[in-house]
Amino acid sequence: MKLIKGFIMNARVLLPLVVLTFALTSPTGLAAWSNAGNVTEHSYIYLSGYIDEMKIYQTYKGLEGQKLVVGTEGSGTVSRRQTAYVDEGGMYFNEWGVFQSEGDLRNALCAKNYKVGTVISESYTEIEYLIKDTTTFQDDNVSVYSIASEGRGTARLGARVKDGPKGVTIMSYGGTYIGDFNIRQEIGSGSEFFLTCP
């Protein structure tokens, strides 16, 4: 029974990311940049109840530019702030939040930089509590990812850094952490690395 429940829980977290990855890579992608120019978003939410929310940001359509997908789903108490700046040149994104639940709350983020050749993902399931502060900056020359999270539940982190979009994989990372965790991770890559990891 636990195996089936675990599979269903993982499928509920991963399936939306797979669907969104397909949508982001389709020829009719979201960003055309003929009219929008840029997007600035600041949002804050406090909720005690149920949440089902997903956001997608991208700088170019198809398999180029930078993409970011972030979402939260489940029952619990959520106090969360998001800030995003997206334009044709790149994107900055920050999510800070405190999440509490009886185990039915999930949060996930996946950021890809096709130009530089990097990808990072984080997901949290079976959250009893989670305090997180994730910041990403991506443009055509650099990727900087900073993850700081503390909680109780299951955390999964993964990253890949390639030598350019079609180059050899320089670093690959994947980890699953179950129980009480306190995670700090910074990854930076690019040809014009003018930002330092926090």
**Is residue 49 included in any domain, yes or no?**
yes
**Is residue 52 included in any domain, yes or no?**
yes
* pLDDT tens figures, 38-92: 889 999 999 999 999 999 999 988 888 899 999 999 999 999 999 999 988 899 9
* pLDDT tens figures, 106-165: 999 999 999 888 999 999 999 999 999 999 999 988 899 999 999 999 999 999 998 877
Q: What is the mean pLDDT of residues 15-42?
A: 55
**Is residue 198 included in any domain, yes or no?**
no
C-alpha torsion sign, points 175, 144, 94, 72: negative
**Is residue 66 included in any domain, yes or no?**
yes
Question: Dihedrals φ, ψ of 43, to 5°?
Answer: -140, 150
Residue 15's pLDDT band, with cuts at 50, 70 and 90, is very low
Name the pTM for this structure.
0.79
**Is residue 196 included in any domain, yes or no?**
no
CB 172 within 8 Å of CB 160: yes
Strand 118-139 relative to strand 169-190, pairing: unpaired
**Is residue 35 included in any domain, yes or no?**
no
How many structural domains is the chain composed of?
A: 1
Domain that holds residue 177: 2-26+40-190
d(CA 166, CA 117): 7
CB 113 within 8 Å of CB 143: yes
**Termini Cα distance of the chain:** 43
d(CA 51, CA 35): 31
CB 105 within 8 Å of CB 99: yes
**Is residue 31 included in any domain, yes or no?**
no
